[in-house]
Amino acid sequence: MVRVALITGGMGGLGEAICIKMAALGYHVVTTYSPNNTKAHDWLQTMNNMGYGFKAYPCDVTDFDSAKACIDAVTKDIGPVDVLVNNAGITRDMTFKKMTKADWDAVIHTNLDSVFNMTKQVIDGMVERKWGRVINVSSVNGQKGAFGQTNYSAAKAGMHGFTKALALEVAKNGVTVNTISPGYIGTKMVTAIPQEILDSKILPQIPVSRLGKPEEIAGLVAYLASDEAAFLTGANISINGGQHMF
């Protein structure tokens, strides 16, 4: 049986690496994209020209009804979702003094409300089938905080509270729920930071003295999605090069 893995925010950065890894392991890979993403078709065509066979569905992850419509379509077209990776996220960084309610809401809705909206659509089916994986992509800054990220840090910390509580509810049904908290990863967004800032401000915080690789995050997600990870649930796994240890 080929399992279905759905990765939100899969078009670029960590999400793309996760999609590629899961496809290499034989999953039916589905990702979501914002309905106003004008580059989604080109991305999908490029990936599938490379032989990945991804499917992509429009979904506003901040909207419950949109999430339901997306999962209903995936289930009808491909089959029920076995692995859900809640990866979609945005930033609106600024000091709390300058932060508006709109800046707060945008990040909370995209990074935290989306976890409820998407997970709610798939968790009952996983419980009924006695197998499922929910993997929430948080951040080192949800663990230690970050200057100018009260909204982002709050959302990412909230993801793990969600993880622990839901893990307790579904553990006896063969469903695991886990969080991963990456540090600074060499995505296009991070590598666009000026080199002098990377060298003087960011890399000195990381004991392994480098950025993480998207493929390293994808490898952890793949493990958590596997049968071998059945005894691991309710955890928050730090993958940050030693930047934050606790």
User: Cα-Cα-Cα-Cα dihedral of 108, 114, 119, 120, to 10°?
Assistant: 90
Distances (CA, A) of 113 to 108, 121, 159: 6, 13, 9
Q: What is the pTM of this model?
A: 0.96
pLDDT tens sequence for the chain (246 residues): 899 999 999 998 899 999 999 999 999 999 999 998 999 999 999 999 999 999 999 999 999 999 999 999 999 999 999 999 999 999 999 999 999 999 999 999 999 999 999 999 999 999 999 999 999 999 999 899 999 999 999 999 999 999 999 999 999 999 999 999 999 999 887 887 889 989 998 899 999 999 999 999 999 999 999 999 999 999 999 999 999 997
| DSSP code string of 33-49 | E-TT-TTHHHHHHHHHH
Render pLDDT for 120-159 as a digit per residue (tens, 0 to 9): 999 999 999 999 999 999 999 989 999 999 999 999 999 9
| Active site positions, annotated | 152
Which residues, including other chains, have CB under 8 Å from residue 169's CB and lie 6 or more apart? Answer: none
Q: Which of 232, 178, 225, 185 is nearest to 4 (CA)?
A: 225
Which element (helix H / strand E) includes 182? strand 175-182
The CATH number of domain 4-239, selected from 3.40.35.10, 1.20.1260.10, 3.40.50.450, 3.40.50.720:
3.40.50.720
160, 177 contact by CB (below 8 A): no
